[in-house]
């Protein structure tokens, strides 16, 4: 991936962050090194200064004759002249010792530095001078060349170390920045492919749960939703194509055939009747589609009134009872709402939705089976459960049956537009309910309830009560 | 002959409605704008008015309706609308409409509803007994007799029969029965109403009596005396 350009690098967040940390780290190191240097150099210098003061005090305390003697003794012990002591007259000319002339600045009882020639080289000495009562000046000094060299070494080491840190830091920042540029490039290329129509493509993750990964996960989740919606839209268009084109084709074919061949009024009348049947089928599908969009629009909530869900369920029972009876299916209603089943809603829509579930349940339950309609309650929330002892809906089809126009394979031969459950789901959503399809073992249980709002205390108990006799009874 | 005014902006639709109502024995006038509709309805007396909900030219269906009610025109009004939302229906009925039909509709549905609206005015509801052929029901005791024999009916079946007996010899569609007897408003497409009618028919015709409830063109029923 040599495609990372310097200008790109400079703009990346990680590179900038790395630089910022480098600067902060540099400042901290500089402070630390400065402190170390100040401490070390100060320690060395104060050691020298203490020694100078001690030696000077010894010399000052001696008498003039002893002083000369001390100086000569010292000179003998120091043939290299690294610690030269000297005595000067008041004018500053050397009287004894290894220093010819009094170096400036003049004596002030404070340590000072001066240079002397040693083997043709200027060498730095640190000295301390004192004016004796006689006017003569005594000087003690020490070669501090090594100390200075040590200090320079220290500074050099710090400078090189700093440079090394700088280079490594810059390189690290560049590597990290380049990594993030590459990462962004990968993601950008994936997005381009998606924009170009490959909706199955997902943004690459590294599985490191890093911040970019978290972002990518969110975007991938969004892409899943978009893909699902696109498939749904496509499913709807396919459904429209199938459910509207098929009857329209038959309509056209029938009319053309009548135009070509029909000879008598009766034949024409028969063709017209066929055409009317086909047109009604088209209108029915069309109407169902419009109703779903209308319900999904949510605009119908303006038509909400306070209704009694138990009363609606009783009406549904009344309405579908003969259908179940005719099929030899037992159909019962259980009101477990505990008296009050009042809620805000649209009675016609709820009747239609519950009726649709019951109708389906009766349709798919074989003779001798049972369909149960229950009104349940958890705190303030009401729900509806329709249980049957039919073949049930396989787990993998449960989501699909909610899609528009979806017809389970086994239901292809039964009448219906494939829009029923979509409408139920839309009505449920309008009332803040979720449609849940579960296995009732055997059979199918469809529940309309407010998901997650609260627990449904009656549910678990009711399920076992409900399924056991059903299982044993069959 | 009952006179009906059709206020519908689409000329062809208006002509079709007029033809369908004409076939059912109505004398039909057409108006194509809200203004024209107001003028005709105000100047003449009609037994019923078919009114399109959305009319061009500033005076829409609901305006026509509320104006007519304000000036004292009491003719029953059936509103036609492309809007099927429940609140649209409620709004239409609240503005003074007597019935509401969503486009597209079947003409059988339209004519059946208009007939009910027209007859509703003509027949006083004070009768306590209704008769059709050898079938009679007592509206007070809710007793049903066929050829003198008492017929046991469930409350819902009784309600269904009473509605049919109030419109004898007239087509009543499934949707009308569903709205009237169950009180919910949506286009019920299943055959459940047929099952209810079937049960009612069996109870009434018990003992090999000729049927009184006839199915009409797969979308409605008519109750009439057996010949």
Residue A287 sits in a domain whose CATH number is 1.10.287
Residues B86 and B163 reside in one and the same domain: no
| pLDDT, tens digit, 9 for 90 and up, residues A35-83 | 988 898 888 889 888 998 888 888 888 877 788 888 888 888 887 778 8
Assess if residue A168 is contained within a domain: no
Q: Identify the pLDDT of residue A459.
A: 41
Distance, CA of B8 to CA of B56 (rounded, Å): 10
Lowest pLDDT segment from A24-28, A137-141, A337-341: A337-341
Residue B119 clears pLDDT 60, i.e. is over it: yes
What mean pLDDT is predicted for residues B110-135?
Answer: 84
What mean pLDDT is predicted for residues A81-87?
Answer: 82
Residues A335 and A378 reside in one and the same domain: yes
Residues A258 and A372 reside in one and the same domain: no
Are the C-beta atoms of A141 and A53 separated by less than 8 Å? no
Among A271, A297, A323, the domain boundary falls at: A297
Distance, CA of B12 to CA of B16 (rounded, Å): 6
Assess if residue A101 is contained within a domain: yes
CATH number of the domain within which B209 lies: 1.10.10.10
Residues B37 and B11 reside in one and the same domain: yes
Assess if residue A205 is contained within a domain: no
Q: Identify the pLDDT of residue A233.
A: 77
Residue A412 clears pLDDT 50, i.e. is over it: no
> Taking each helix axis from N to C terminus, what angle separates B192-204 and A309-327, rounded to the nearest 10 degrees?
70
Residues A37 and A104 reside in one and the same domain: yes
What mean pLDDT is predicted for residues B184-199?
Answer: 83
What are the DSSP calls for A292-323, one per residue?
HHHHHHTGGGGG-EEEEHHHHHHHHHHHHHHH
Residues B118 and B154 reside in one and the same domain: no
Residues A133 and A238 reside in one and the same domain: no
Distance, CA of B73 to CA of B67 (rounded, Å): 9
Helix (H, G, I), strand (E, B) or coil at B225: coil
Among A297, A318, A339, the domain boundary falls at: A297
Query: Mutation test of the interface with chain A: which of B104, B106, B192, B200, choosing the one with the most A Cβ atoms within 10 A?
Result: B192
| pLDDT, tens digit, 9 for 90 and up, residues A198-241 | 888 888 888 776 778 888 889 898 888 888 788 877 777 777 77
Please name the helix (run of DSSP H) or strand (run of DSSP E) that holds residue A227, with its range, or none: helix A211-261
What are the DSSP calls for A29-86, one per residue?
HHHHHHHHHHHHHHHHHHHHHHHHHHHHHHHHHS-HHHHHHHHHHHHHH-TT-SS-EE
A349–chain B Cβ distance below 8 A for any pair: yes
Chain A residue nearest residue B184, CA to CA? A348
Record: contact A291-B196, CB cut-off 8 A: no
Record: contact B189-A284, CB cut-off 8 A: yes
Q: Identify the pLDDT of residue B18.
A: 94
Chain B residue nearest residue A304, CA to CA? B87
What mean pLDDT is predicted for residues A153-169?
Answer: 87
Q: How many CB pairs under 8 A join A and B?
A: 52
pTM above 0.90, yes or no: no
Number of domains within chain A: 3
Please name the helix (run of DSSP H) or strand (run of DSSP E) that holds residue A218, with its range, or none: helix A211-261
What mean pLDDT is predicted for residues B124-149?
Answer: 86
Q: Which residues of B touch A (CB under 8 A)?
A: 84-87, 90, 104, 106, 156, 182-187, 189-190, 192, 195-196, 198-199
Residues B144 and B180 reside in one and the same domain: yes
CATH number of the domain within which A130 lies: 3.30.450
Residues A142 and A270 reside in one and the same domain: no
What are the phi and psi torsion angles at B7 (to 5°)? -110, 105
Q: Identify the pLDDT of residue A381.
A: 80
What are the DSSP calls for A119-150, one per residue?
TTEEEEEEEEEEE-TTS-EEEEEEE-HHHHHH
Assess if residue A116 is contained within a domain: yes
What are the phi and psi torsion angles at A431 (to 5°)? -95, 15
Q: Identify the pLDDT of residue A456.
A: 47
Residues B115 and B8 reside in one and the same domain: yes
Distance, CA of A440 to CA of A371 (rounded, Å): 11
Q: Identify the pLDDT of residue A333.
A: 92
Residue A461 clears pLDDT 50, i.e. is over it: no
Place A457 in a pLDDT band, splitting at 50, 70 and 90. Answer: very low
Distance, CA of B195 to CA of A320 (rounded, Å): 9
Are the C-beta atoms of A143 and A123 separated by less than 8 Å? yes
Percent of chain A past pLDDT 70, that is, above it, reads 86
Sheet order of strands, B48-52 included: B27-31, B3-7, B48-52, B77-81, B99-102
Q: Tell me the average pLDDT of chain A.
A: 80
Residues A324 and A396 reside in one and the same domain: yes
| pLDDT, tens digit, 9 for 90 and up, residues A462-474 | 333 333 333 333 3
Percent of chain B past pLDDT 90, that is, above it, reads 46
Distance, CA of B190 to CA of A439 (rounded, Å): 26
Smallest Cα–Cα separation from A307: which of A335, A338, A349? A349
Residues B136 and B204 reside in one and the same domain: yes
In terms of residue numbers, what domain contains B77?
Answer: 3-122
Percent of chain A past pLDDT 90, that is, above it, reads 9
Assess if residue A216 is contained within a domain: no
CA distance A348 to chain B (A): 5
Q: Identify the pLDDT of residue A6.
A: 65
Q: Identify the pLDDT of residue A439.
A: 82
CATH number of the domain within which A345 lies: 3.30.565.10
Among B122, B144, B167, the domain boundary falls at: B122
Among A237, A269, A297, the domain boundary falls at: A297
| pLDDT, tens digit, 9 for 90 and up, residues A267-298 | 899 988 888 888 887 887 777 777 777 777 66
What are the phi and psi torsion angles at B182 (to 5°)? -100, -20
Residues A443 and A323 reside in one and the same domain: yes
CATH number of the domain within which B109 lies: 3.40.50.2300
Distance, CA of A272 to CA of A10 (rounded, Å): 77
Smallest Cα–Cα separation from B161: which of B178, B173, B175, B144? B144
Instruction: Look at A256 and A402; give whichever has higher pLDDT.
Output: A256
Are the C-beta atoms of B196 and B156 separated by less than 8 Å? yes
Q: What is the dihedral of CA A67, A69, A72, A77, to 10 degrees?
A: -100
Assess if residue A342 is contained within a domain: yes
Sorted by sequence, the CB contacts under 8 Å of residue A416 that are 6+ apart come out as A407
Residues B14 and B103 reside in one and the same domain: yes
Query: Mutation test of the interface with chain B: which of A348, A349, A356, A420, choosing the one with the most B Cβ atoms within 10 A?
Result: A348
Place A418 in a pLDDT band, splitting at 50, 70 and 90. Answer: low
Q: Identify the pLDDT of residue A138.
A: 84
Residues A459 and A323 reside in one and the same domain: yes
Place B160 in a pLDDT band, splitting at 50, 70 and 90. Answer: very high
Tell me the torsion sign for CA atoms B201, B204, B208, B213.
negative
Q: Identify the pLDDT of residue B76.
A: 93
Residues B211 and B156 reside in one and the same domain: yes
Among B59, B94, B122, the domain boundary falls at: B122
Number of domains within chain B: 2
Residues B135 and B215 reside in one and the same domain: yes
In terms of residue numbers, what domain contains A340?
Answer: 299-473
Residues B155 and B188 reside in one and the same domain: yes
Residues B109 and B189 reside in one and the same domain: no
Q: Tell me the average pLDDT of chain B.
A: 87
Please name the helix (run of DSSP H) or strand (run of DSSP E) that holds residue A354, with its range, or none: helix A347-364
Residues A363 and A430 reside in one and the same domain: yes
> Of B87, B156, B190, which is closest to A318 when you measure between CB atoms?
B156
Residues A290 and A350 reside in one and the same domain: no
Residues A233 and A147 reside in one and the same domain: no
Among B122, B143, B168, the domain boundary falls at: B122
Residues B185 and B208 reside in one and the same domain: yes
Residues A369 and A446 reside in one and the same domain: yes
What are the DSSP calls for A159-189, one per residue?
HHHHHHHHHHHHHHHHHHHHHHHHHHHHHHH
Are the C-beta atoms of A225 and A393 separated by less than 8 Å? no
Residue A454 clears pLDDT 70, i.e. is over it: no
Place A458 in a pLDDT band, splitting at 50, 70 and 90. Answer: very low
Assess if residue A214 is contained within a domain: no
Chain B residue nearest residue A299, CA to CA? B85
- ipTM of the assembly? 0.84
Highest mean pLDDT range out of A54-63, A107-116, A304-313? Answer: A304-313
Contacts of A329 in chain B (CB under 8 A): none
Tell me the torsion sign for CA atoms A128, A133, A135, A138.
negative
């Amino acid at each position: 991936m040599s495609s990372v350009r310097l200008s790109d690098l400079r703009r990346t967040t990680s590179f900038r962050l790395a630089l910022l940390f480098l600067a902060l780290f540099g400042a901290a190191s500089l402070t630390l090194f400065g402190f170390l240097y100040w401490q070390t150099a100060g320690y060395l210098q104060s050691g020298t200064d203490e020694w100078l003061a001690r030696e000077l005090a010894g010399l000052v305390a001696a008498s003039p004759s002893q002083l000369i003697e001390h100086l000569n003794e010292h000179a003998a012990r120091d043939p290299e002249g690294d610690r030269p002591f000297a005595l000067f007259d008041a004018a500053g000319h050397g009287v004894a010792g290894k220093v010819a002339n009094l170096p400036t600045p003049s004596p002030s009882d404070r340590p000072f530095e001066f240079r002397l020639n040693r083997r043709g080289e200027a060498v730095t000495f640190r000295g301390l001078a004192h004016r004796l009562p006689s006017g003569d000046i005594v000087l003690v000094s020490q070669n501090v060349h090594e100390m200075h060299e040590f200090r320079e070494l220290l500074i050099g080491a710090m400078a090189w170390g700093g440079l090394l840190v700088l280079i490594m830091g810059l390189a690290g920042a560049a590597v990290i920045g380049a990594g993030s540029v590459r990462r962004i490039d990968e993601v950008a290329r994936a997005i381009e492919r998606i924009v170009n129509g490959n909706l199955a493509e997902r943004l690459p993750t590294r599985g490191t749960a890093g911040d970019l990964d978290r972002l990518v996960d969110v975007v991938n989740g969004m892409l899943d939703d978009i893909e699902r919606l696109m498939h749904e839209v496509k499913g709807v268009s396919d459904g429209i194509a199938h459910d509207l084109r098929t009857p329209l084709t038959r309509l056209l074919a029938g009319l053309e055939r009548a135009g070509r061949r029909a000879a008598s009024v009766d034949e024409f009348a028969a063709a017209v009747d066929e055409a009317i049947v086909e047109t009604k089928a088209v209108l029915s599908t069309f109407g169902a589609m419009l109703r779903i969009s209308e319900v999904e629009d949510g605009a119908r909530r303006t038509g909400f009134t306070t209704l009694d869900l138990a009363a609606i369920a009783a009406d549904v029972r009344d309405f579908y009872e003969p259908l179940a009876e005719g099929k030899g299916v037992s159909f019962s209603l259980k009101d477990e709402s505990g008296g009050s089943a009042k809620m805000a809603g649209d009675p016609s829509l709820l009747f239609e939705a519950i009726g649709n579930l019951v109708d389906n349940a009766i349709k798919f339950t074989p003779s001798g089976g049972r369909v149960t309609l229950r009104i349940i309650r958890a705190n303030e929330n009401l729900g509806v459960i329709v249980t049957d002892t039919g073949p049930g809906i396989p787990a993998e089809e449960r989501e699909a049956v909610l899609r528009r126009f979806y017809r389970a394979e086994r239901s292809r031969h039964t009448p219906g537009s494939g829009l029923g459950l979509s409408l139920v789901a839309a009505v449920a959503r309008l009332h803040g309910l979720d449609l849940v399809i579960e296995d009732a073992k055997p059979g199918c249980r469809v529940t309309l309830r407010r998901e997650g709002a609260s627990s449904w205390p009656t549910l678990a108990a009711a399920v076992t009560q409900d399924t056991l006799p059903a299982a044993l009874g069959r | 002959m009952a006179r009906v005014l059709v206020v519908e902006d689409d000329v062809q639709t208006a002509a079709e409605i007029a033809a369908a109502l004409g076939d059912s024995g109505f004398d039909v006038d057409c108006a194509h704008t809200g203004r024209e509709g107001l003028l005709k309805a105000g100047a003449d007396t009609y037994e019923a008015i078919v009114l399109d909900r959305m009319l061009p030219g500033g005076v829409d269906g609901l305006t026509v309706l509320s104006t007519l009610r304000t000036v004292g025109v009491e003719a029953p009004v059936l509103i036609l609308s492309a809007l099927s939302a429940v609140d649209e229906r409620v709004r239409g009925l609240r503005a003074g409409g007597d019935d509401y039909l969503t486009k597209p509709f079947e003409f059988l549905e339209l004519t059946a509803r208009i007939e009910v609206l027209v007859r509703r005015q003509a027949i006083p509801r004070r009768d306590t007994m209704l008769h059709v052929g050898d079938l009679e029901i007592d509206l007070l005791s809710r007793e049903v007799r066929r050829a003198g024999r008492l017929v046991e009916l469930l409350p819902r079946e009784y309600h269904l029969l009473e509605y049919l007996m109030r419109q004898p010899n007239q087509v009543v569609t499934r949707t009308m029965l569903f709205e009237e007897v169950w009180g919910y408003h949506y286009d019920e497409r299943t055959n459940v109403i047929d099952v209810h009618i079937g049960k009612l028919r069996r109870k009434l015709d018990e003992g090999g009596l000729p049927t009184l409830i006839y199915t009409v063109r797969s979308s409605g029923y008519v109750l009439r005396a057996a010949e």
